[in-house]
A and B are shown apart, each in its own frame.
Chain A
Amino acid sequence: MTAPAIEVKGLTKRYGSAGHGVVALDDVSFSIPAGTVFGLLGPNGAGKTTLIKVLTGISDISAGDATVAGYDVRTQSMAVRSHIGWVAAEVILDDDFTARENLWLQAKLQSLPDWEPRADLLLKYFALYDRADDKVSQFSTGMRKKLEIALALLHQPDVIFMDEPTIGLDVGTRRMLWDIVTGVHREFGVTVLLTTHYIEEADALCDQIAIIDFGKVVAQGTPSELKARVHGDVIALETSRPIDVPRLTAIPGVQDVRPQGNEWMIRATTAEAVLPSLLAAVPAETVRRISIEKPSLETVFLELTGHRLGQDEPMRDIRKFYAQMRQVRK
């Protein structure tokens, strides 16, 4: 059995003094097999970027242990940094330099004497060879992202960290990045740890996923394993008045009813089977919105954390704001 590419045991990162500070990572443990694409899925502020900072040696560890590419993050930080690549959420390049000069600088920082053949190979792989001597400030976002991945691959690392690699990109560029991540993993044989808050991204790219929320890993497994943890469908129901929870719970096939913001999350064995009884139990004029969700990573996240990933908090605030506005008008 090969050694894991990344192993984390009881990792804790605390900002500020003990007792008064903020715990960004709380007793996190996981193991990433070499040669896999591992996703850390969680909302903004869950601790994903902090975990990357700690594993790359940018931040100190408050407690626990971590090894990357077989090296201890605490005591062999320089060795870790020689064996990892990093792709930032926001593209970080030297805009005063050309693509080739950016690769030259990366080679210098990684002490690579014979870097040019490898750089040419990467420039060709990412279709940047013809623009190698242009300043990167003239590059499109997609080209800049590709160059950043080329920088991360230049020294043939064992592990690449990709921190929200597709955040802020349009759909087309995001799809292109997905193809690149898959291709890079296949062609160059590196282990990829990527963080994301896009469920479809984690589902499409990752062999294994750890769901992280409030600094804790709440579940880990392959996308299929995680989806198998949710038994049944979720019916999201938004009403203008409180609902009769015991009546809904008594409907055959309904497993659970719980509030989530202005919505009710009704878990049912088969949504279509319970829907007629459900609609009969709720006054039609009070129903604002109803939707059915089949088992997905979204429903897994909801099941495990009790809240939705992504935009639910601001949306809830907007709904609250409009509700208050209506009250004022009355």
Chain B
Amino acid sequence: MRSQFSGLYLRELLRTFRNPFVLLITVVQPFMWLAFFGSSFANAPPSLVESFVGAKSYIAFLLPGTLSTSMLSVGMFGSMSTIQDKRFGFMKRILITPTSKGVIFLSKALGSATRGLVQFPIMVVAALVFGVSFQLSPVEWLAWVGALFCLAIGFSSLFLAITAPSTDWQTPGVVSNFITMPLMFASTALFNGAFFPSWMRAISAVNPITFSALLGRSFVLGTSVPWINLGYLAAFALALLGIGWIVAGRWLKVD
């Protein structure tokens, strides 16, 4: 099982990082987020920004949220890679070896999550360019990366479970469009939840993106750290990994 997992996991990574276009987009996209979205309050009075988001710099506020929401899209790429393998027959080649469907699922989920984390250092450098300063301890850096990894694992598993029986290219895109918007906006990733209506606040209170954004924000802004959020995100990742494992074992088919 270890041999099959390491082979398929490395394949996922090699395929991604050998594609110059994917690498370019991976690097450019975070910069664009911070440049376009983060600069929307560039000329606003500091008091307005502080009253709106609770921080002096909107980019410092936005960075942990943007990193969290970008973990949503990594799941989509993971499921697209699965559908590609099914359509080009490679999934059949894998399944005609002693490789369990659970291992295939696990390698795809971890491959997507690892790919997603590549954005982390790029985004931090981008934030430095835009004037954000970081005073995190090594443990806090590690915890922040860990939280994002859990989020990426959870969303990758969710996407892979939803698209397991499908061979349609359109499915991951449709699923992504359907779940990305509510999860992104019904969270504190982009805005302060204090101004939300009660129904959005209810969604935000259980939305894992909120938990990840608040944890990362506490590290960047130097406020009190909600360590419990890390536990919540770990439970989210484990639960969806378990569900994905079961779903893949039952419904991941090429026939």
Q: Which A residues from 48 to 89 make CB contacts under 8 A with B?
A: 53, 56-59, 78-79, 81-82, 84, 86, 88
Q: Does A170 reach chain B (CB closer than 8 Å)?
A: no
Q: Are B98 and A108 in contact (CB under 8 A)?
A: no
Q: Are A109 and B94 in contact (CB under 8 A)?
A: yes
Chain A nearest Cβ from B11, distance in angstroms: 6
- The listed residue with most B CB atoms (<10 A of its CB), out of A57, A82, A107, A110, is A110
Chain B nearest Cβ from A240, distance in angstroms: 46
Q: Are A109 and B99 in contact (CB under 8 A)?
A: yes
A-B pair count, CB < 8 Å, reads: 69
Q: Which A residues from 285 to 323 make CB contacts under 8 A with B?
A: none
B95: chain A residues within 8 A (beta carbon): 57-58, 81
Q: Are B93 and A88 in contact (CB under 8 A)?
A: yes
Q: Are A86 and B93 in contact (CB under 8 A)?
A: yes
Q: Are A57 and B96 in contact (CB under 8 A)?
A: yes
CB closest residue in chain A, given B93: A92
Chain B nearest Cβ from A61, distance in angstroms: 12
A106: chain B residues within 8 A (beta carbon): 97
Q: Are B97 and A110 in contact (CB under 8 A)?
A: yes
With A58-B254, A108-B6 as contacts: A96 and B15 at CB distance below 8 Å: yes
Q: Does B173 reach chain A (CB closer than 8 Å)?
A: no
B4: chain A residues within 8 A (beta carbon): 108-109, 111
- The listed residue with most B CB atoms (<10 A of its CB), out of A79, A84, A94, is A94
Chain A nearest Cβ from B90, distance in angstroms: 6
Q: Which B residues from 112 to 170 make CB contacts under 8 A with A?
A: none
Q: Does A127 reach chain B (CB closer than 8 Å)?
A: no
A57: chain B residues within 8 A (beta carbon): 95-96
CB closest residue in chain B, given A112: B3
Q: Are B7 and A81 in contact (CB under 8 A)?
A: no
A84: chain B residues within 8 A (beta carbon): 96
CB closest residue in chain B, given A105: B7
CB closest residue in chain B, given A13: B255
CB closest residue in chain B, given A92: B89
Q: Does B92 reach chain A (CB closer than 8 Å)?
A: yes
Q: Which A residues from 101 to 128 make CB contacts under 8 A with B?
A: 101, 104-113
With A88-B89, A92-B88, A111-B3 as contacts: A105 and B96 at CB distance below 8 Å: no
Chain A nearest Cβ from B48, distance in angstroms: 50
A110: chain B residues within 8 A (beta carbon): 97-98
Determine chain B's interface SS by DSSP, over half rule. Answer: helix
Q: Does B14 reach chain A (CB closer than 8 Å)?
A: yes
CB closest residue in chain A, given B3: A111
A256: chain B residues within 8 A (beta carbon): none
Q: Are B92 and A88 in contact (CB under 8 A)?
A: yes
Q: Does A97 reach chain B (CB closer than 8 Å)?
A: yes
Q: Does A133 reach chain B (CB closer than 8 Å)?
A: no
Q: Which A residues from 124 to 176 make CB contacts under 8 A with B?
A: none
A105 to B90 Cα, complex, angstroms:
12
A79: chain B residues within 8 A (beta carbon): 98
With A58-B255, A96-B14, A108-B4 as contacts: A78 and B89 at CB distance below 8 Å: no
Q: Are A82 and B11 in contact (CB under 8 A)?
A: no
Q: Does A90 reach chain B (CB closer than 8 Å)?
A: yes
State which of A53, A105, A112 has its C-beta within 8 Å of the C-beta of B11. Answer: A105
CB closest residue in chain B, given A53: B255
State which of A53, A81, A90, A112 has its C-beta within 8 Å of the C-beta of B89. Answer: A90
Chain A nearest Cβ from B12, distance in angstroms: 11
CB closest residue in chain A, given B97: A109
A86: chain B residues within 8 A (beta carbon): 92-93, 96
Q: Are A111 and B18 in contact (CB under 8 A)?
A: no
B94: chain A residues within 8 A (beta carbon): 109
Q: Are A58 and B92 in contact (CB under 8 A)?
A: yes
With A88-B93, A108-B3, A111-B4 as contacts: A96 and B98 at CB distance below 8 Å: no
Chain B nearest Cβ from A132, distance in angstroms: 17
Chain B nearest Cβ from A288, distance in angstroms: 43
A96 to B255 Cα, complex, angstroms:
25
A53 to B89 Cα, complex, angstroms:
13
Chain A nearest Cβ from B82, distance in angstroms: 14
B97: chain A residues within 8 A (beta carbon): 81-82, 106, 109-110
A90 to B19 Cα, complex, angstroms:
24
List 9 A-B pairs, minimum CB-CB distance, nearest first. Answer: A108-B7, A109-B97, A92-B89, A111-B3, A86-B96, A78-B98, A59-B255, A81-B98, A82-B98
Q: List 30 A-B contacts (CB under 8 A).
A: A56-B96, A57-B95, A57-B96, A58-B92, A58-B255, A59-B255, A78-B98, A81-B97, A82-B98, A86-B96, A88-B89, A88-B93, A92-B90, A92-B92, A92-B93, A96-B18, A97-B11, A101-B14, A104-B7, A105-B11, A106-B97, A108-B3, A108-B4, A109-B4, A109-B7, A109-B94, A109-B99, A110-B97, A111-B98, A112-B3
Given contacts A57-B95, A78-B98, A109-B8, 10 further A-B contacts (CB under 8 A): A57-B96, A58-B92, A58-B255, A59-B255, A86-B92, A92-B92, A96-B14, A101-B14, A108-B8, A111-B98
A→B interface (CB under 8 Å): 53, 56-59, 78-79, 81-82, 84, 86, 88, 90, 92, 94, 96-97, 101, 104-113
B→A interface (CB under 8 Å): 3-4, 6-8, 11, 14-15, 18-19, 88-90, 92-100, 254-255
